Amino acid sequence: MNLQEIKISDSARLLVVETDKFKKNILSMSAILPLGPGTTPLDLLFPKVLLRGTASCPTNASLKKRLEELYDARIVESGSYFGNSLKIGFTADFLSDRAVGSPVLEGVIKLLADIWQRPAVDESGLLRGNEVNLAKRAMRDAIRAEINNTAVYAANRCRELVCAGEPHGYSVTEAEVEEITAAGLTERYKKVRDSAYLTFFYIGPKPAGKVAELLAGAFPPASCCTGMQRPDITPSPDGVPEYKEASMPVSQAKLVMGFTTGGMVFSDSPEYYAMCLAAEIFGGTPSSKLFVNLRERLSLCYYCGAYYENLKGIIYVSSGIDTKSREAARAEVLAQLDELRAGHITTAELDAALLSVVNSYRQIEDSPYSILSFCFGRGMLGLDCSPENFIKRIKQVTIDDIKKAAERIRLRAEYFLAARGGGEAECDE
């Protein structure tokens, strides 16, 4: 898989994976922005409003009709944390030109440019108040709904503890969303539009040069852009462990533990690959130490697993347990970490972890969205974007490498959501 990069202007670039493997193509547009209160609620909201109508397609219905004319193309907005930065943008998927014998890509680019540059506004030139209010309501509902998924809720509270004082530890609140006005949102949108550096990513058979030419014609240089900004992936530091506890009327308690990794974040260093494998052996597969011991041997949890947040250098261990099992479950998690630190790794554990990681990377090229997810992050950080190279590097990791990586893992925070009883049974698998 070959990733190409082309400069479109001083405020935009294009990443391309040329392939005729898929019937549908993908074109994404992303901007990397600061993360934190004041701007992030606005930055997450205005793309939702932009997608409600443009100057040429002012209603949601007319915008949908235009997408239907482009052979049922689809455009969705997105906003997500990227280390200590925020990534916002749009992603379109659509049939390739050769599949339908029509310039679909050109039409999608023009529509995407209209959404970004020429949104529907009111007589005062502001983003329309009714659409802003609808988007605010949806955003508030999403924040409220988080509590209904207690696994996600507990994970986010643990993130706030691990990353307290860092941008990554910030969470948007309902009150912040409520305070947004059409005037304030319009002002912020215009500032981002005129200053943000845009990264486009195309996956499909069209030659990279032609895609760049179409984008250059549709997206003139931003007037105030100061150049490309790399995402901030400053690792979370070690510190005195933080503990927090709450309770809810549910039947299953949640225990989430956050561990720092001694500054080991997304990179091409040998230590990074060792940490990836350490996290997988710790809790990434059904053959992992946590699953085999915490769940199967001791029956202390309904589910458990470890996730490596490699843009912040954090390993999260998440489990669903009975409230009375908290201390025993916590002790076993730490005991298995000690086993990992000591290098007590069986051949079966190592083989299962390698098989899991290798298979997941071999499957990347089977889906355009998997390619986008894998290559975007690495492309933004200037790293090698070859799954084959990742597999080669991960296979070079030894048990001693894993032991050394595990020795850097330190408990940083613990969040426990106790079950008060009387709630509905949960099925968080």
Per-residue pLDDT at 1: 80
Tell me how far apart the alpha carbons of residues 248 and 424 are, in angstroms, rounded to a whole number.
Answer: 11
pTM for this one? 0.93
| CATH code for residues 3-218 | 3.30.830.10
State how far the alpha carbon of 364 is from the alpha carbons of 329, 373, 380, 390, in Å: 34, 9, 18, 12
Strand partners, 6: 14
Question: What is the Cα–Cα distance from 15 to 29, expressed in whole angstroms?
Answer: 10
Q: What is the mean pLDDT of residues 292-320?
A: 96
**Would you state the CATH architecture of domain 242-419?**
2-Layer Sandwich (3.30)
Q: Which residues have CB under 8 Å from 61's CB, separation 6+?
A: none
| Residues 4-23: tens digit of each pLDDT | 999 999 999 999 999 999 99
Please check whether the two domains, 3-218 and 242-419, share a CATH topology: yes
Residue 423 has pLDDT above 80, yes or no: no
Percent over 70 (pLDDT), the chain: 98
pLDDT at 427 over 90: no
286 pLDDT exceeds 80? yes
Taking only the tens place, the pLDDT of each residue in 373-392 is: 999 988 888 888 789 999 99
> Domain residue spans in the chain?
3-218, 242-419
Average pLDDT over residues 224-230: 88
pLDDT in tens, 83-113: 999 999 999 999 999 889 999 999 999 999 9
